[in-house]
A = this chain, B = another copy of it.
Amino acid sequence: MERAVATYLEPQARLAIYAEGEFGKKHAKTAEGVIRYGRNPVAAVIDSAKSGATVREAVGLNCDAPIVASVGDSLKHSPSALLLGTAWTGGALPAHWRKDIIQALESGMDIVNGLHDFLENDAEISAVAKRHGRRLFDVRKPPMPLPVGAGLAKDLKQHVILTVGTDCSVGKMTASLELDAEAQRRGKRSKFIATGQTGIMICGEGIAIDRVIGDFMAGATEQMVMDAAKDHDYIFVEGQGSLSHPGFSGVSLALIHGSAPKTMILVTKATKTNICELPLPLPSLTTTIKANEHMASLLRPAKVVGIAMNTWGMSKEDADRAIQQAREETGLPCQDPVRDGVKELFDAIIANEENSK
């Protein structure tokens, strides 16, 4: 079976991260995720609005790569691939990116693309890539064929931990990555499973479940989990969307039944009031916990054992207050993985493992 992982960019490839006009803003979460957690060295970030600064100076991430104004300016930092680092609802290719992508190909760079629009289907771009012997990595393209989910993961002895959310874009990938890192610090055989384009760009493999045909979403998840279980004891599955999101709830449920978690970590963002930008109030933590435990239990019992709260942009006082409130509402440990780490959350995962033995 063809696998998404097979043809992905080599770990030593040096990235120019394309975030034109958006670095440090909401739509550049792919760029920031790759800089924070990615395995590839970052040669430069491209954003003419912030050029001259380093990444550290511009957005406070632990990275001294320069920000440059153009694809041409990035070349002196020897990038070997251009990674498209911003994402938009709907995932179509913005028209003004075209000339920059073509220039990068002509300059000898491969392209890493996480959009719903695949570059290999773009006649002009694929012709330029072919002419220059460059590769187009459409990371959201699912491998085919994929199986139909059969509930196989429910019998695993290995510990599967899924992040679930009150909404999309709240920090599920970050929480899963931090938990995987904590497991490794504690000497565990642990693996992060990427289910979205940024996660795939970070770890070099995975399947973007939201891009998979409905009938095969759970099967794709299941296949990755069963594969990881061969040589890992802790499997952290990146969640997507939320059971309360009217557009993405189906993807979230496919992840629950495809991965059959024993343990879930609920992820939320303290400053959010609405689901995406819709006129729908964000569900409460209690509502979300109940919904996820109920749906998981249709396949096997599973518990939400902790809250990862994204307090980005809040004062320390406000963040502490929000975290305290979540602890009181749910009776569960709550931490901001980026600000506070995930030790308490990991302890709660281990405790659930002991309890369910």
Residues of A bordering B, CB below 8 Å = 89-91, 116, 145, 148-151, 154, 209-215, 217-219, 222, 243-254, 256-258, 260, 275, 278, 280, 283, 287, 291, 294-295, 298-299
Contacts and interface: CB of A to CB of B under 8 A. Distances in A.
Nearest to A294: B294
Contacts of A257: 245-247, 249-250
A253 B249 contact: yes
Contacts of A252: 250, 253
Contact of A248 (B215, B278, B298): B215
Nearest to A154: B246
Contact of A298 (B213, B247, B287): B287
Nearest to A250: B254
A93 to B, nearest CB: 13
A25 B162 CA distance: 41
5 contacts: A150-B247, A218-B248, A246-B260, A249-B257, A291-B294
Contacts of A90: 145, 148
A212 B214 CA distance: 6
B218 A210 contact: no
A253 B258 contact: no
Nearest to A152: B246
Given A209-B214, A214-B250, 17 more contacts: A148-B247, A148-B248, A149-B246, A150-B246, A150-B278, A151-B246, A151-B247, A151-B278, A213-B213, A213-B214, A214-B248, A215-B247, A218-B247, A218-B250, A246-B299, A249-B253, A250-B257
Contacts of A211: 213-215
A215 to B, nearest CB: 4
B243 A258 contact: no
A254 B258 contact: no
A275 to B, nearest CB: 8
Most chain B beta-carbon neighbours within 10 Å: one of A151, A245, A247, A283: A247
Most chain B beta-carbon neighbours within 10 Å: one of A89, A219, A250: A250
A219 B250 CA distance: 11
A90 B213 CA distance: 12
Given A246-B218, A254-B250, A291 B280 contact: no
A71 B215 CA distance: 31
